[in-house]
């Protein structure tokens, strides 16, 4: 009697991994996880003023107003994940809000009304 090695036995594959269903499962997971992770972001962030003044009110940033962007579009490359004061000159030089609001990617800051950002709400 010769000893012939038997063919390797197949391990059972979970149903989710069969026939590409894992991709649909991953897509479903990501579509539900993204809003859950975004819940930790405050809706509005009042940017700290660099100097004390009575008017205009310090700028108010709305995360939900920028919901077409992903968190990693701005954090941590454009903004650290902490409120940070900056000037209009910084924005004109393409930093902070000016990195997108340059008239190409988004409406230019100089074409917006002061109240668009410096809202008292």
What is the residue extent of each domain of the chain? 42-116
On the question of pLDDT at 92 being above 80, the answer is yes
3-state class of 60 per DSSP?
strand
Is 103 or 55 the better-scoring residue by pLDDT?
A: 103
On the question of pLDDT at 34 being above 60, the answer is no
Q: What pTM did the predictor assign?
A: 0.62
pLDDT of residue 6: 59
Only one residue has tokens 């109240």, namely 115
Question: Residue 84: pLDDT band by 50, 70, 90 thresholds?
Answer: confident
Which of the listed CATH numbers 2.40.37.10, 3.90.10.10, 3.40.600.10, 3.40.50.11810 matches domain 42-116? 3.90.10.10
What does the pLDDT average to over 15-40?
60
Rg (CA), the chain: 25
């Amino acid at each position: 009697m010769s000893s012939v090695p038997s063919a390797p036995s197949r391990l059972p594959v979970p149903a989710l991994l069969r026939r590409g269903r894992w991709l649909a499962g991953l897509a479903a997971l990501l579509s539900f996880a993204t809003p859950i992770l975004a819940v930790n972001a405050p809706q509005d962030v009042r940017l700290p003023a660099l100097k004390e003044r009575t008017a205009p009110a310090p700028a108010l940033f709305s995360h939900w107003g920028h919901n077409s962007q992903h968190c990693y579009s701005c954090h941590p490359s454009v903004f650290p994940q902490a409120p940070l004061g900056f000037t209009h000159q910084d924005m004109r030089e393409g930093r902070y809000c000016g990195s997108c609001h340059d008239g190409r990617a988004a409406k230019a800051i100089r074409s917006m009304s002061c109240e668009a950002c410096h809202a008292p709400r």
